[in-house]
Structure 1
Amino acid sequence: MLPFTNKTQAISCIKQILPLGILAVALLISCKSEEPSVSVEQWGVFELELVGPDAGNPYLEIDFYAEFTSEEGQRLQVPGFYDGEGVYRLRFSPPTQGIWHYKTQSQISTLDGNIGSIRAIPPTGTNHGPLRIVNTFYLQYADGTPYYGIGTTAYQWTSVKQSIQEKTLETLSDSPFNKIRMCLFPKHYQYGNETEPWAYPFQRNGDANDFTQPNFAFFQNLDKRVHQLMDMGIQADVILFHPYDRWGYAFMGNEMNEKYVRYLMARLSAYRNVWWSLANEWDIPSIKETIDWRGIGEMLQREDPHQRFRGIHNWYSSEDHFYDHTEDWITHVCTQTYEFWNAIRWRDRYQKPLLFDEMRYEGNVPSGWGNLSGEEMTAYFWMAGLSGGYPTHGDTFRNDSDEETEVRWWAKGGTLMGTSPDRIAFFREIMEELPVHEMSPVFIASEDPKSLMKNQHLFEKPGEVYMLYTGSEGQTLSVNLSGSGSYLLQVIDTWGMEIVEERTVTSGEFSFTTQKPYTALLLKRAD
Structure 2
Amino acid sequence: MDRFEAANQSEERSLRSVGPWSTVEFEFESDVDYARPYEEVDVIATFVGPHGETFRRFAFWNGGRSWRLRFAPTAAGLWAFTTAATDRTNGGLHSVAGELLCKEGSAAPLYEHGFLRASGTGTHLEHADGTPFFWLGDTHWRFAWEKWDRANKAGWSSQFRDTVDRRVRQGFTVYQANLLSWNPPPFWDRLLAGGEFDVAFFREVLDPRMEYIAASGLVNAIGLAWYAAVDGHPSAMVRLARYVVARYGSYPLVWTLGGEVAGYEPATRAQRLAAWRDVALAIQRDDDYRHPITAHLTCERPMPAEFQNEEWLTFTLSQLGHGDLDMSSEHWTDHLAAHPGKPLIEGESFYEGLTSVEPNGRRPVTDTMVRQVAYRAFQSGCSGYTYGAQGSWNGAWDSESGKSMWGDLPWHEGVDLPGAEQMGFLRRFYESVDWTSLSPAPELYSTESWINSTMYRPHVASNATRDIISVYFGETYRHDDGDAAVEVSDEGTYRVEWFDPRTGTFESVYDAERAENRRLGLPCPPTPGDWALLIRRNVG
TM-score (norm 2): 0.80
Structure 2 residue aligned with 1:361, among 351, 355, 371? 351
Q: Displacement, 1:202? A: 3.8
Contact 1:360 1:370 in 2 (8 A): no
Q: Displacement, 1:110? A: 1.2
For 1:524, the equivalent position in structure 2 comes to 536
Tell me, in whole angstroms, the C-alpha distance in 1 between the residues paired with 2:336 and 2:250.
Answer: 30
| Greater Cα offset, 354-363 or 64-73 | 64-73
Tell me, in whole angstroms, the C-alpha distance in 2 between the residues paired with 1:410 and 1:132.
Answer: 38
CA displacement 1:120-167 (0-9 Å, x = unmatched): 222322122212322321223223444311112111121344333344
Consecutive aligned runs of 4 or more in structure 1 exceeding 6 Å deviation:
8-11, 407-412, 445-449
Q: Displacement, 1:378? A: 1.0
Give the aligned residue type for 2:462: F
For 1:352, the equivalent position in structure 2 comes to 342
| Greater Cα offset, 437-446 or 483-492 | 437-446
CA displacement 1:236-294 (0-9 Å, x = unmatched): 11112314x6xxx443612212111100110111002x111112112214563245222
Give the aligned residue type for 2:54: R
Structure 1 residue aligned with 2:209, among 218, 225, 241? 225
Q: Displacement, 1:56? A: 1.1
Query: Is residue 214 from structure 1 mapped to residue 197 from structure 2 by the alignment?
Result: yes
Query: Is residue 506 from structure 1 mapped to residue 513 from structure 2 by the alignment?
Result: yes
Over 3 Å counting, the alpha-carbon distance change for 1:453 and 1:148 in structure 2 is farther
For 2:236, the equivalent position in structure 1 comes to 256
Any unmatched runs of 5+ in structure 1? 1-5, 12-31, 189-196
Tell me, in whole angstroms, the C-alpha distance in 2 between the residues paired with 1:486 and 1:224.
Answer: 54
TM-score (norm 1): 0.82
Over 3 Å counting, the alpha-carbon distance change for 1:217 and 1:200 in structure 2 is farther
For 2:370, the equivalent position in structure 1 comes to 377
Query: Is residue 111 from structure 1 mapped to residue 93 from structure 2 by the alignment?
Result: yes
Over 3 Å counting, the alpha-carbon distance change for 1:121 and 1:378 in structure 2 is same
Over 3 Å counting, the alpha-carbon distance change for 1:405 and 1:102 in structure 2 is same
Contact 2:4 2:77 in 1 (8 A): no
Structure 2 residue aligned with 1:140, among 104, 107, 126? 126
Q: Give 3-state SS (helix, strand or coil) of 1:482's partner.
A: coil
Q: Displacement, 1:457? A: 2.6
For 1:342, the equivalent position in structure 2 comes to 331
CA displacement 1:458-495 (0-9 Å, x = unmatched): 23352432111120332565322212221110122323
Contact 1:340 1:384 in 2 (8 A): yes
Give the aligned residue type for 1:354: L
Q: Displacement, 1:34? A: 9.7
Structure-to-structure mapping, 1:230-249, within 5 angstroms: 230-243=214-227, 249=229
Q: Give 3-state SS (helix, strand or coil) of 2:291's partner.
A: coil
Tell me, in whole angstroms, the C-alpha distance in 2 between the residues paired with 1:33 and 1:268.
Answer: 28
Any unmatched runs of 5+ in structure 2? 151-158, 321-326
Over 3 Å counting, the alpha-carbon distance change for 1:425 and 1:7 in structure 2 is closer
Q: Displacement, 1:66? A: 0.8
Over 3 Å counting, the alpha-carbon distance change for 1:226 and 1:478 in structure 2 is farther
Contact 1:283 1:321 in 2 (8 A): no
| Greater Cα offset, 363-372 or 175-184 | 363-372
CA displacement 1:27-83 (0-9 Å, x = unmatched): xxxxx9995712221111121111114441111112111111124332222111101
Give the aligned residue type for 1:308: H
For 1:465, the equivalent position in structure 2 comes to 468
Tell me, in whole angstroms, the C-alpha distance in 2 between the residues paired with 1:157 and 1:165.
Answer: 7
Output the aligned Cα RMSD.
Answer: 3.4
Tell me, in whole angstroms, the C-alpha distance in 1 between the residues paired with 2:396 and 2:92.
Answer: 50
Q: Give 3-state SS (helix, strand or coil) of 2:298's partner.
A: coil
Q: Give 3-state SS (helix, strand or coil) of 2:497's partner.
A: strand
For 1:185, the equivalent position in structure 2 comes to 180
Contact 1:356 1:391 in 2 (8 A): yes
Query: Is residue 426 from structure 1 mapped to residue 406 from structure 2 by the alignment?
Result: no
Between the two proteins, what is the percent identity of the paired residues?
21
Q: Give 3-state SS (helix, strand or coil) of 1:379's partner.
A: helix
Q: Give 3-state SS (helix, strand or coil) of 1:226's partner.
A: helix
Q: Displacement, 1:385? A: 1.4
Tell me, in whole angstroms, the C-alpha distance in 2 between the residues paired with 1:211 and 1:268.
Answer: 24
CA displacement 1:69-98 (0-9 Å, x = unmatched): 124332222111101122101111112222
Give the aligned residue type for 1:375: T
For 2:297, the equivalent position in structure 1 comes to 314
Tell me, in whole angstroms, the C-alpha distance in 2 between the residues paired with 1:43 and 1:312.
Answer: 25
Tell me, in whole angstroms, the C-alpha distance in 2 between the residues paired with 1:80 and 1:130.
Answer: 20
Q: Give 3-state SS (helix, strand or coil) of 1:56's partner.
A: coil
Tell me, in whole angstroms, the C-alpha distance in 2 between the residues paired with 1:324 and 1:358.
Answer: 19
